[in-house]
Amino acid sequence: MRFHKDSIETLAQKIYSGELRSTDLVSTSLDTIKQTSKTNAFTSVLEERSLERAAQIDHLTMKEKGTLPLCGIPVAVKDNICTSGIPTTCASKMLENFVPPYNATVVDALEKAGAVIIGKTNLDEFAMGSSTEISHFGPARNPHNPNYITGGSSGGSAAAVADGAVPAALGSDTGGSIRQPCSHCGVMGLKPTYGRVSRYGLVAFASSLDQIGPIATNVRDIGLVLSIISCPEPRDSTCSGNQFVYDKSLFEEKPQTLRVGIPREYFGEGLSDEVRNACTELIDKLKDKGIQFTEVSLPNLHYAISTYYVICTAEASSNLARYDGVKYGFRAENAGSLYDMYAETRRQGFGPEVKRRIMLGTYVLSSGYYDAYYLKAAKVRTLVSRDFDNAFSSCDAVISPVAPTPAFKIGEKCNDPLQMYLTDI
């Protein structure tokens, strides 16, 4: 059994009723991971720990199990989300041996709901990439064809769900890092509204953009996991505390009254015929179900990539300054001075893409350039946001491609950073 047919709710109900044991599900998950190791979806697999946790759940009373919405369900967690006593590497040499002393809020929430953390998943180093090729542990591979990328940076989580190793996983999304790999791997992913889910325990990339979200095979499971991880968190000042309420009726309503906007800018130049045809086919199917469509415009969209890369590199430069070999993580040996130790630690510990983004970010924040780049990008971000506000005044949702092309072959674009950046549109 792989986790494609039954919903999480159904599996949890079977454990509650005694029809299944959590240890059975966890063993299935572990066996599937071993069988599909070619995808390189995991940076670490917690075999002994997860089986012990599953056995504890199996020994609970029916009443105790009934309070756990994720009772005994195996879940994977992206390896930039802190897990107490379990390495959190960010797929980087810099944090290769880092073991956090605490859990992220979302990990505590999952375990409180009865989930079993099965392992940590592969990603682009420090979540800086869109293919999961830029990893200290090697590239993740698409379950549908291992010669192709998974997308990124949450490629390991998307591949683990697509491969049937786990029914759900957590990823993080800064500029598409959940949505894009889910599209390439054929599963579902959600970047929640910023602040809906606490970032406490998420290793920061770009703090004004980062958000944790769920990956699963169906919308119901996405909703269930979101309702659990979107809990209030007083330690995170950006967390709204506005918890999503899982209601079965949400997934049973007829969608005829829904009005969907089609942004004309999303379907212009640069979109491959394969992606365009897939989107057109889906729109036609939704029209047949009675959903109404209207054209909308996002006139500032052509500034999006430039704006994103100014903001995210600036914030990355600031956030990654903490990795200096002094407090935690990798430290270069035999440095002749404190300055040499700083420099060598960062030179040896970071990969080329992380260094590239730190350098770009330091430049746009430097004296004389802050107003011209970072401040202007922050203002343009507001214009882009207003475009969406205007669009939503005439529709309930907008529909768009996720990426301009389907998944490409591993190695095809990784030597051309500019082409990789453009795929983030």
DSSP 204: P
Catalytic residue among 22, 130, 153, 172: 153
Q: Is 58 helix (H, G, I), strand (E, B) or coil?
A: helix
Residue 198 annotated as catalytic = no
φ/ψ region of 280 (left if φ > 0, alpha if ψ in -120 to 50, else beta) reads: alpha
- Closest among 241, 41, 258 to 160, alpha carbons compared: 41
Q: Is 201 exposed, middle or buried (0-12, 13-18, 19+ CB in 10 A)?
A: buried
Task: Give how far the C-alpha of residue 48 lies from the chain's centroid of Cα atoms, to the nearest Å.
Answer: 26
Catalytic residue, candidates 50, 177, 183, 227: 177
Length of the chain counted residue by residue: 425
Q: Which residues pair with 229 in a beta bridge?
A: none
Q: Note if 157 is an active site residue.
A: no
Contact 418, 297 (CB under 8 A): no
- CA dist 44 and 87 (Å) reads 8
Which residues share a beta bridge with 243? none
Which one of 22, 29, 78, 130 is the catalytic residue? 78
User: Are 124 and 90 within 8 A, CB to CB?
Assistant: no
Q: Please indicate whether residue 207 is annotated as part of the active site.
A: no
d(CA 240, CA 231): 9
Active site residues: 78, 153, 177
